[in-house]
Amino acid sequence: MSNDKKFVESITSRDQDFAQWYTDVVREAKLCDYSSVKGCLNYLPNGYAIWENIQANLDKRFKETGVENVYLPVLIPESLLQKESDHIEGFAPEVAWVTHGGLEKLEERFCIRPTSETLFCDHWQKTVKSYRDLPKIWNQWNSVLRWEKTTRPFLRSREFLWQEGHTLHATPEEAKERTQLMLDIYYDFVTKDLAIPLIKGRKTESEKFAGAEATYTIEAMMHDGKALQSGTSHYFGSGFPDAFNIKYLDKNNQLHSAYETSWGLSTRIIGAIIMVHGDDSGLVLPPRIAPTQTMIIPIAQHKEGVLEKANTLLKELQEKGIRIKLDDSDKTPGYKFAEQEMLGIPTRIEIGPKDMEKNQAIIVRRDTGEKIIVSLDEINMKLPEILETIQQDMYKKAETFLNSHIKSATTMNEMIETFNKERCFIKAMWCGSEECEDQIKADTGGAGSRCIPFYEEKLSDKCICCGKEAKHMVIWGKSY
């Protein structure tokens, strides 16, 4: 039992030191580790398997709306990047440059893509000529490189994995409709498959994506009360297309501008899963996204018939479509339980000689620890029901936490006092000026505007900072 105890004690309590707890979980669950390339990660099997499920589930949703996958180069010529001034200015501090090919200095530098708007526009400028060529509804699954100064596993690394969608349309109405559609897909996926409640809204002018006319976001609250931007959808208007001279002929042979969107979700969403659902025993994974949904742990497996029954159960549940594994290693049951909990596997099935005599097994929920005795004749039906119950319960628990940690403030003193006392988001009115936005962030010790939510309330007529007429209610909070 000493080894079992040591395994659990390797995780710091999240209420004692949340940052250390997060690092401990990432390490002990073997999700990723740092590589020899500073600021870059090695995605290990346990972590990459989560990303594979995210990719599969999200890609299916994309394709149901007409999205097609493509792949464009990792290198962008400097001259191409310079065509959209706001865009390059926004990314300049984070760009990594390739200056040599082999031993020879290149005539023109190439940047390693921080994002791919310019590459898509360069291609479309050559290929889009007529209204018949539109719309383009494209996406690529790839990595990007941004030279971040401070890095943390999944949350912020120099190279990270994501999907970046880019679309081109004949009208602004069509482009705006796609922008909203993709935000809704992200919202549906994160709330339903990842069991993470969200606030959906529009970014302020100072927080929007470089070169965009409007940026829309889904914001999640972590256990420490900080926000994590979990997915964004951008409406570019004709800015990028015009900069690249993308024009198309309509049915009357008239030349028109095209309208662009872009949208992305990255591996930082794995960080959100960890920080929203995890506990002091490790990961807690929602069943719909968990690489392994249940682990069979035989009890007294050296006794006659136990392993045979466990293997029979394994095959039966695999045929039912359950993602399941059997731990028949020589570790003690206590160690196996602790390991299953650390990895966040939603359920475990315990079966031993006494269970076999009673034609039963014990299903243990990872999220609550509840033990459920199930007849072996019914386990094929009961386990999927339990997994779906866990999925729904995890969402309800996270939603209750989010709702109870959103406060309101009508004065700066009230806002500052609340942020000093509580881990939370604050709803407050804002006049729309960047100066007030910056002042609020400074006075609260880093609580910036997360978004202007779609469900705006009128808490007062005045801006919380300057007292002038308020234009919007904003969700404010510290963030990752």
> Do residues 425 and 359 both lie within one domain?
no
Q: Is there a domain that residue 288 lies in?
A: no
207's tokens: 């927080």
Q: Is the per-residue pLDDT at 276 higher than 50?
A: yes
H, E, C per residue of the chain: CHHHHHHHHCCCCCCCCHHHHHHHHHHHCCCEEECCCCCCEEECHHHHHHHHHHHHHHHHHHHCCCCEECCCCCEEEHHHHCCCHHHHHHHHHHCEEEEEECCEEEEEEEEECCCCHHHHHHHHHHHCCEHHHCCEEEEEEEEEECCCCCCECCCECCEEEEEEEEEEECCHHHHHHHHHHHHHHHHHHHHHCCCCCCEEEECCCCCCCCCCCEEEEEEEECCCCCEEEEEEEEEEECHHHHHCCCEEECCCCCEEECEEEEEEEECHHHHHHHHHHCECCECCCCCCCCCCCEEEEECCCCCCCHHHHHHHHHHHHHHCCCCEEECCCCCCHHHHHHHHHHHCCCEEEEECHHHHHCCEEEEEECCCCCEEEEECCCHHHHHHHHHHHHHHHHHHHHHHHHHHCEEECCCHHHHHHHHHHCCCEEEEEECCCHHHHHHHHHHCCCCEEEEEECCCCCCCCECCCCCCECCEEEEEECEC
Task: Please give the share of the chain, as a percent, with pLDDT higher than 70.
Answer: 97
Domain that holds residue 321: 294-387
> Do residues 314 and 349 both lie within one domain?
yes
CATH, residue 44: 3.30.930.10
pLDDT value of position 395: 98
pLDDT band for 7, please (50, 70, 90 cuts): low
pLDDT value of position 93: 83
Mean pLDDT of the chain: 95
* Segment 37-89, tens digit of pLDDT: 999 999 999 999 999 999 999 999 999 999 999 999 999 999 998 886 666 67
Among 354, 387, 420, the domain-final residue is: 387
pLDDT value of position 1: 37
- Tokens 């269970």 map to which residue? 355
Say how many domains are in the chain.
3
* Segment 302-324, tens digit of pLDDT: 999 999 999 999 999 999 999 99
Residue 437, SS3?
A: helix
Residue from 353, 345, 301 nearest 323 by CA: 345
pLDDT value of position 324: 98
Q: Is there a domain that residue 323 lies in?
A: yes
Residue 248, SS3?
A: strand
Cα–Cα distance for residue pair 479/271, rounded to 1 Å: 13
Q: Is there a domain that residue 27 lies in?
A: yes
Which residue type, as a one-letter code, is found at position 278? G
Q: Is there a domain that residue 464 lies in?
A: yes
> Do residues 419 and 469 both lie within one domain?
yes
Cα–Cα distance for residue pair 50/34, rounded to 1 Å: 18
pLDDT value of position 92: 77
Burial 47-71 (b: 16+ CB within 10 A, else e): bbbbbebbbeebeebbeeeebeeee
pLDDT band for 390, please (50, 70, 90 cuts): very high
Per-residue pLDDT, averaged over 257-272, amounts to 98
Q: Is the per-residue pLDDT at 330 higher than 60?
A: yes
> Do residues 310 and 270 both lie within one domain?
no
The residues that bridge with 262 in the sheet, in sequence order, are 166, 234
> Do residues 360 and 454 both lie within one domain?
no
Cα–Cα distance for residue pair 281/21, rounded to 1 Å: 10
* Segment 196-209, tens digit of pLDDT: 999 999 999 999 99
Q: Is there a domain that residue 397 lies in?
A: no
Per-residue pLDDT, averaged over 148-164, amounts to 94
pLDDT band for 18, please (50, 70, 90 cuts): very high
Cα–Cα distance for residue pair 240/61, rounded to 1 Å: 27
Residue 377: how many CB atoms within 10 A of its CB?
A: 10
> Do residues 149 and 218 both lie within one domain?
yes
Q: 234, 434 in Cβ contact below 8 A?
A: no
Residue from 56, 22, 15 nearest 271 by CA: 22
Task: Please give the share of the chain, as a percent, with pLDDT higher than 90.
Answer: 94
Q: Is the per-residue pLDDT at 453 higher than 80?
A: yes
> Do residues 243 and 117 both lie within one domain?
yes
Q: Is there a domain that residue 241 lies in?
A: yes
Q: 144, 119 in Cβ contact below 8 A?
A: no
Q: Is there a domain that residue 218 lies in?
A: yes
* Segment 399-428, tens digit of pLDDT: 999 999 999 999 999 999 999 999 999 999
> Do residues 105 and 235 both lie within one domain?
yes
Which residue type, as a one-letter code, is found at position 164? E
> Do residues 267 and 233 both lie within one domain?
yes
Q: Is the per-residue pLDDT at 8 higher than 90?
A: no
> Do residues 144 and 117 both lie within one domain?
yes
Q: Is there a domain that residue 401 lies in?
A: no
> Do residues 84 and 160 both lie within one domain?
yes
CATH, residue 371: 3.40.50.800
Q: 166, 209 in Cβ contact below 8 A?
A: no
CATH, residue 438: 3.30.110.30
pLDDT value of position 82: 84
DSSP per position, 43-64:
E-HHHHHHHHHHHHHHHHHHHT
pTM of the model: 0.95
> Do residues 79 and 147 both lie within one domain?
yes
pLDDT value of position 307: 97
Q: Is the per-residue pLDDT at 350 higher than 60?
A: yes
* Segment 207-263, tens digit of pLDDT: 999 889 999 999 999 999 999 999 999 999 999 999 999 999 999 999 999 999 999
Among 248, 277, 306, the domain-final residue is: 277
Q: Is the per-residue pLDDT at 383 higher than 50?
A: yes
